[in-house]
Chains A and B, each alone.
Chain A
Amino acid sequence: MSAPDEPFLRIEGVSKSFGTFQAVRDVSLTVAKGEIFSLLGGSGCGKTTLLRMLAGFEEPTSGRIFLDGRDMAGVPPWSRPVHMMFQSYALFPHMSVEKNIAYGLKHEAMTKAQRDDRVREMLDLVQLSQFAARKPHQISGGQRQRVALARALARQPKLLLLDEPLAALDKKLREHTQFELMSIQARTGVTFIVVTHDQEEAMTLSDRIAVMDRGRVMQVGSATEIYEFPNSRFVAGFIGSITSFEARVTGREGGQVVLEVPALGGRVLARDVPGVVEGQAVTLALRPEKLRISKDRPETGNAVEGMVKDLAYFGKDSLYRIVLPSGALVSAHAVNARRGDEATRVADWDDRVWLSFDPAAAIVLTE
C-alpha cells in the first residue's frame, strides 16, 4: 500500500489550537516501522495533544498525519489501527482482567476459540495468566499496567501509543518495567510512540526522541545525539545538566573555533560549529561529567583555576561546585574510581583546583 520511500508514520506540518491557545505548532516528524519513538517535554509542551491526534481523539487544526501511507484525517478513533495505553491505564473496573484484554477483540472477525487463544497469548506475554479472573482493583499497580499493555496489544495495532507508561509506578518497578516494555516491543514488532516528561525514561527506552517545547519540536535524534549534540540552549538544559556561559567567537584555529568567554577568564577552544562567524555571540555549555578536576594545571585542553565551594559525595561519584575568579559557579562530576577515605579524594572544600576540558567537550550553541 505504501510507496517504497514512504515512512511508516508521517506527521506533516500538524498544528492544533484550542481557542486562542496553540497546543501544537507546525510539527513534522517521521517514524519508522518497529521504532520506539519518544515525545519528550515538560507539561504543556503539546506532547499529549500530539498523541491524542494520533489516536484520533483530536483532529489537527492544520496539517496531516499519514499512517502506513493512509491519510488519517477524519478517521474516528474506533477505526484506527492505533491503540493507546493510557496514563491512568483506564481499565474497565466492572470487567475482569481477561474481559478487559478481550474487549477490543469482539470487533475482530474471529471465532470464540481464536479470541480465547489470543487472550491467553496476551496473558502469557505479560505474565498474568493466574490473574485472568481478577478485577482490576484486585491486582497491584504494576499488574494493572501490564493488563493495559496487553489490552492495547491484543488487536495487533500498527501503532501503540503509550502515555507516560511508567509514571504511576514506583522507582524500582519502573526500571524493571522499562526493560519489559522494550522486550515486549522487540517480540511484537509494534511501533511504539511514548509520551514522557522523564528524560531518563525517554533515553533508555527509545530509539529516537523528539524534544518538545511550547508546541514545537526542538530536536529529533537518538539519545546520544540529543545529549552530546544538543542544537539549542533549551534542549541542552532539558536533557541532563549543563553549566552555560555567554561567549563570543573570536576566530578559528586548526579546525577549532576560538571563543572569548569572560566568565572562564578568557580564551576557550571548542569543536567547530558550521555557520558561526567571527564576532557572533554564542553560548558555551559544559556537561559536569566532561570536566576534569586536578591539583596541577593540565598540559592540554582548556583550563581554568577555581576553588571548591561545595562537594557532594554520592558513592560512585561526587559532584563538585567550583567557584571561578569571575564569580561564576561550575558543576563538575568526578567518578570515584579509586577506593579510599576522605584524604584520598581529588579535592576538598576550599581547595584550589584546576578545571579542564577538551575542545570536543565544549558545546557551542547559537540558539
Chain B
Amino acid sequence: MEHSSRLSRWFDRRGWSDIIIGAPYVWLVVLFLLPFLIVVAISVATKTATAPPFSFGGEHPLVNLQGYQRLLHDTLYLRAFLTSLTNAGIAMVLCLLLGYPMALALTRVSRSWRNILLMLVILPFWTSFLLRVYAWMGLMGKNSWFNALLTDAWNWVVPVDWAVKSIPMMHTNFAVVLVMVYTYLPFMILPLYASLERLDPTLDEAALDLGSRPSRVFLDVTLPQSVPGIIAGGLLVFIPAAGELVIPSLVGNAASPMIGRVISDEFSSARDWPMASSVAVALLLLMVVPMMLYSHYQAKAEGEAGK
C-alpha cells in the first residue's frame, strides 16, 4: 500500500501519470480521428483527373455532396449495403448458434481439456488467412471431393428431378457466409467463453434445487447472464464481416458486391476518391450506431453491478 502510494506520488511529480493516461488518447487522435476527418473531408471534395484525384474549391464548390447523393440514389450502393448487412447478419447469427454451445462446453470440461480446446479455437490464426480462404475455394470448387460429397448427399435426399451434377457454391453469398463464419467463429467463442466462465455454477444448482430442469436452468439463469458476451461476440463478428473485402472478392458473387468491394473499386479502378470516402463514412456511421447501443448497455450494466 505504502509502496504503491509512493510510486504514484513519484509518477505525479514527474507528470508521468498525465503521459500514461494521455498516450492512448494521442494514439486514437493521431491514428484514428485525424485520418477519419481526412476521409470525411475527401468525401465532400470533387473528383478530378489530377494526383491526388480530388480538389477543394476552385472551379468546384467547396463542399460537394455529390457522393452522398449518389449513395442514396444509385441502387448499386444501397444493394451493396443490404448485401453486406445481410451476409454479416447471417454470419453473426450462425456464429452465435455454433459458438454458444462450444463456449458453454469449454466451461464444463476439465481444466486440462479446456486449455487444449481453447488452443484449438485459436490455432487457425497461426495459418495465413489467405491460405485458409484459398483452401475453402478448393473445397467448394466443382471438382473437389467436398463438393462431390455434398452433391451425393443432395441427390440422395431430393427428388430425381432436382438432381445436380455439382453444387454451385463458389461465387455465391452462401460461400461468403460460409467462409466468414469459419473465419470469425473464434471472435464469437472467446468473448462468450469469457462471460460464461465467470458465472457461478452454484446458481445453476440453486435453480435445479428450486425445481427447474436443466433446459429451464439454461434459459432462466445462464442465457440472461451471458447477454454481455453475446453482444460483444456479435459486434466482433458483425462489424468486420460487414466491411469484409477479401472473402467476398475471392469467393463472392461479383454481380452483387459487398460494400468493402465497392469502396475498394471506387478507390482503385474508378479513382473516385470522394465517392469511396462517402461510402466509407456511411459504413462507419452504420457501424457506430450498434456500437453506441452496446456501450450504453455496458455502462448501464456496470453501473448496476458497481452499486
Contact = CB atoms under 8 A, between A and B. Distances in A.
B15 interface: no
Interface string B197-221: 0001011011111111100000011
A299 to B, nearest CB: 61
B58 interface: no
B205 A151 contact: no
B202 A104 contact: no
B211 A78 contact: yes
Contacts of A176: none
Contacts of B307: 137-138
Interface in B153-190: none
Contacts of A93: 203, 225
Interface residues of B, number: 19
Contacts of A94: 224-225
Interface stretch (A80-88, A211-219, A302-310): A80-88
A273 interface: no
Contacts of B203: 90, 92-93
A135 interface: yes
Contact of A107 (B202, B211, B304): B211
18 contacts: A57-B209, A77-B209, A78-B212, A84-B206, A88-B202, A92-B206, A94-B224, A94-B225, A103-B207, A103-B220, A104-B210, A104-B211, A107-B211, A107-B212, A135-B304, A138-B307, A151-B210, A152-B209
B202 A86 contact: yes
B304 A92 contact: no
Nearest to A80: B209
B200 A90 contact: yes
Interface residues of A, number: 26
B108 to A, nearest CB: 15
A149 interface: no
A137 B305 contact: yes
A10 interface: no
A79 B225 CA distance: 25
Given A78-B213, A137-B307, A155-B211, A90 B202 contact: yes
A36 interface: no
A137 B304 contact: yes
A77 B209 CA distance: 5
Interface of A: 55-57, 76-79, 82-84, 86, 88, 90-94, 103-104, 107, 135, 137-138, 151-152, 155
Nearest to B206: A90
Given A88-B200, A92-B221, A135-B304, A57 B211 contact: no
A314 B267 CA distance: 87
B304 to A, nearest CB: 7
Contacts of B221: 92
Nearest to B210: A104
A47 to B, nearest CB: 17
Given A90-B200, A137-B305, A83 B209 contact: yes
* Top 4 closest pairs, chain A to chain B, by CB: A104-B210, A107-B211, A90-B206, A90-B202
Contacts of A57: 205, 208-209
A84 B209 contact: yes
Contact of B208 (A77, A135, A152): A77
Interface in B278-307: 304-305, 307
Nearest to A88: B202
Given A77-B205, A90-B203, A92-B221, A155 B304 contact: no
Contacts of A90: 200, 202-203, 205-206
Nearest to B304: A135
Interface in B214-253: 220-221, 224-225
Given A90-B206, A137-B304, 11 more contacts: A55-B209, A77-B208, A77-B209, A78-B209, A78-B210, A79-B211, A88-B200, A90-B202, A93-B203, A103-B207, A103-B220
Nearest to A135: B304
Contacts of B209: 55-57, 77-78, 82-84, 152
A82 B205 CA distance: 13
Contacts of B224: 94
B213 A86 contact: no
A103 B210 contact: yes
A86 B205 contact: yes
Nearest to A108: B211
A86 B204 CA distance: 12
Nearest to B202: A90
B221 to A, nearest CB: 6
B210 A83 contact: yes
Contacts of A55: 205, 209
A168 to B, nearest CB: 13
Contacts of A76: 208
B217 to A, nearest CB: 9
A138 B213 CA distance: 29
Contacts of B212: 78, 103, 107
Contacts of A152: 209-210
A137 B200 CA distance: 15
A135 B224 CA distance: 15
A87 to B, nearest CB: 8
Contacts of B208: 57, 76-78
A79 B211 CA distance: 6
Contacts of A104: 210-211
Contacts of B210: 78, 83, 103-104, 107, 151-152, 155
Contacts of B211: 78-79, 104, 107, 155
Contacts of B206: 84, 86, 90-92
A321 B203 CA distance: 49
Interface string B45-62: 000000000000000000
Nearest to A57: B205
Nearest to B211: A107
Contacts of B225: 93-94
A103 B221 CA distance: 11
Contacts of A151: 210
A55 B212 CA distance: 13
B100 to A, nearest CB: 18
B214 to A, nearest CB: 8
A48 to B, nearest CB: 12
